Amino acid sequence: MSNESVVQEWNERYPPGTDVLLTNDDGEVEETKTRSIAWLLGSGHSVVSVEGRTGGYLLERIKPLSKKVPKPAAETKPEAMGLHMPDEGNLSKLG
């Protein structure tokens, strides 16, 4: 699965405010919540912001606690948050 697909699937399934487990640098696991949609870094890594931390954390280090797929509110859509998601034709420019 491409990184773009990973981000798209994450954002469809887990809106900001989703309860998650975060694996810290030292391997310790803590419970927190997402505070953003996921996005791609220029390096191509998929990340999301979590409460109590700055920056983005690799989705590989984040595990959603709920298997439910909550319906995101309008304000959690990228456009409503002031974010621009590239058109599929422009995704190749991200890498």
Q: How far apart are CA 25 and CA 37, in angstroms?
A: 22
pLDDT beneath 70: ranges in the chain = 67-95
Domain positions in the chain: 3-82
Q: How far apart are CA 77 and CA 28, in angstroms?
A: 31
Q: From residue 16, how far is each of 24, 27, 50 by CA, in Å?
A: 20, 24, 9
For residue range 11-34, list pLDDT tens digits in order.
Answer: 999 999 999 999 998 999 999 999
CB 74 within 8 A of CB 80: yes
Q: How far apart are CA 90 and CA 88, in angstroms?
A: 5
Residue 44's contacts (CB-CB under 8 Å, 6 or more residues apart) are: 3, 94, 95
The top-level CATH class assigned to 3-82 is mainly beta
Q: How far apart are CA 9 and CA 28, in angstroms?
A: 26
Supply the pLDDT for residue 77.
57
